Amino acid sequence: MAPAILLGEASPKDDIANTTAETTKTLDIIKEKDVGLMHRSLIEPPHEVVSASGSYIHLSSGATILDGCAGAAVAIIGHGNKEVLAATVAQMEKVSYVHTASYVTSSAEDLANFILEIPPGGFQHGLEKAYFCGSGSEANDAALKLGRQYFFEQGQLQRKWYVSRRQSYHGTSVASMSISSNLPRSIPYQDILMPNVAFVSPAYAYHDQRATETEEEYAGRLVAELESEFQRIGPENIISFIAEPIVGATDGCVAAPKGYFTGVRQVCDKYGILLHLDEIMCGMGRTGTYFAFEQENIQPDIVVIGKGLSGGYAPASAVLMSKKIVDVLKAGSAAFNHGHTYQSHPVTCATALAVQRIVRRENLVQRCALMGILLEKMLIDAFGDCRFVGNIRGRGLFWGIEFVKDKATKETFAPSQHFGYNVQQNAFKLGLAVYPGAATVDGVRGDHVIVAPPLNISVVDLGKIVRLLKEAYTQEESQVA
Ligand code: PLP
């Protein structure tokens, strides 16, 4: 049996947190890249929005912006939907708030039933209950606690470890940041993050798959690495493995190689470790299936969703838990030992339910899958031969374009070049919003932009996104000697 790991013992996170050289390098990158340590500058004012409808945002400057990324892959039904407005007002008229310790409202129950319902012939996801909160960070925090409680109820108190992946983003709260590996966001806080988190390699074929290995062999190598990390920590000490089925913000719409998630599921099962999937960005239809994990043909133990759950009409997220977890809680303390003031907020739930009803009625998930085929073709036609476009990848209406300095060697641009950032800024000046790529672990890889429009975007607007983005890219390309 592998030795038990004591808190404070060296962990892979030390590679990042305790390596002065790495930290210094990252700080240099932050300075060079001007990413800043804060989300919004205290000096530069943001763009003021006066109204938004459909796929368009109107600014106080008079400019109109085509929302090619639905905010941060949030606005799945576009902006300004009157049906959602009416449902929100109607719920406010009925009951705007009650505390969930004593009460429940039909809006929360109906939303839970609606999103967990499996339509005839639908994917058997195995999820049984939903816990609603406000943000993706909160949902991931709750999911980490849920995993711990699942083992606590079974007397497995030694299980304290979480395993996550490098180049991952799961939120900004202390716990969700602890399972993330996004240095520009976490650098001031490295010393206060949870110590009991280990990291394994991301699934990032474009850079990491060896020329000599097949996709399946690459997946097998990653799964073997995960298993050996489990053994290093002692699998009996681990609560869960956390991953995004399609990595959004850090990598830019990167799906795992074929066979990766089935391998991950098997290894987790072998040691009784929970599989916690983060679908905050890639879930709710965004990739052409309701849950992105459906395309991996696995059943997770815990799933977190957000963004598209309410399409941005209210701050909403959820932790979805499988029967296995619910059964243990029912047999034990009979409650998830968690909760906060605005959990299952009646108005938030009514709003999200209205959004989800529209998604189902208008077949937006199926439409997303079809429009995704079109978008893929448009992107490949427009960017496939471009000098600095290294990789175009994604699923459904969730696509990333990665820029590299040299397509043959995949050498990245120097951070000081701001290539992807400049493309995004050029696009904005042309009236198009795309989501910028965040700097990743070494601050260099993942120089990308994300296209993730509302799922009901028109074909004409989809074409316009690709055309404006190409123009923005061409402007930047011409700046490079
Ligand atoms: N998880 C993933 C995969 C995300 O993309 C995000 C946000 O971008 C989060 C979690 C955190 O969500 P929030 O910003 O709502 O706290």
List, as one string, the DSSP characters of 106-134: HHHHHHHHHHH---TT-----EEEEEEES
Distance CA 393, CA 401 (A): 7
Element (H, E) at 135: none
- The complex scores an ipTM of 0.99
CA of 477 from ligand 1 middle (Å) equals 31
Task: pLDDT band for 442, please (50, 70, 90 cuts).
Answer: low
CA of 474 from ligand 1 middle (Å) equals 31
Q: Looking at the DSSP assignment, which residues form a beta bridge with residue 243?
A: 277
Per residue in 99-113, pLDDT (tens digit) is 988 898 999 999 999
Output the CA torsion sign for 187, 189, 195, 201. negative
CA of 280 from ligand 1 middle (Å) equals 6
Instruction: State whether the beta carbon of 171 lies less than 6 angstroms from ligand 1.
Output: yes
End-to-end CA distance of the chain: 58
Rounded to two decimals, the pTM is: 0.92
CA 6 centroid distance within chain: 31
Q: From the alpha carbon of 282, which atom of ligand 1 is closest? A: 3
Contact (Cβ atoms closer than 8 angstroms) between residue 397 and residue 452: yes
Residues 6+ apart with CB under 8 A from 245: 255, 256, 261, 277, 279, 282, 287, 291, 292, 293, 295, 296
pLDDT at 10 over 50: no
Segments of 159-285 assigned E as strands: 161-165, 197-200, 238-243, 246-247, 254-255, 274-279
SS3 408: coil
CA of 214 from ligand 1 middle (Å) equals 32
CA of 26 from ligand 1 middle (Å) equals 22
> Hey, whose CA ends up nearest to atom 13 of ligand 1?
136
pLDDT at 36 over 80: no
**Residue-level pLDDT at 290:** 98
Instruction: State whether the beta carbon of 461 lies less than 6 angstroms from ligand 1.
Output: no
Per residue in 254-269, pLDDT (tens digit) is 999 999 999 999 999 9
CA of 391 from ligand 1 middle (Å) equals 24
Q: Nearest-CA neighbor of 400 among 249, 207, 289, 292?
A: 249
Distance CA 460, CA 157 (A): 56
> Hey, whose CA ends up nearest to atom 14 of ligand 1?
136
Ligand 1 pocket, mutate which of 281, 342, 398, 435 (most atoms under 8 A from CB): 281
Antiparallel, parallel or unpaired: β 254-255 and 197-200: unpaired
Q: Looking at the DSSP assignment, which residues form a beta bridge with residue 197?
A: 162
Q: Nearest-CA neighbor of 160 among 52, 351, 373, 7?
A: 7
Contact (Cβ atoms closer than 8 angstroms) between residue 438 and residue 446: yes
Instruction: State whether the beta carbon of 457 lies less than 6 angstroms from ligand 1.
Output: no
**Residue-level pLDDT at 375:** 98
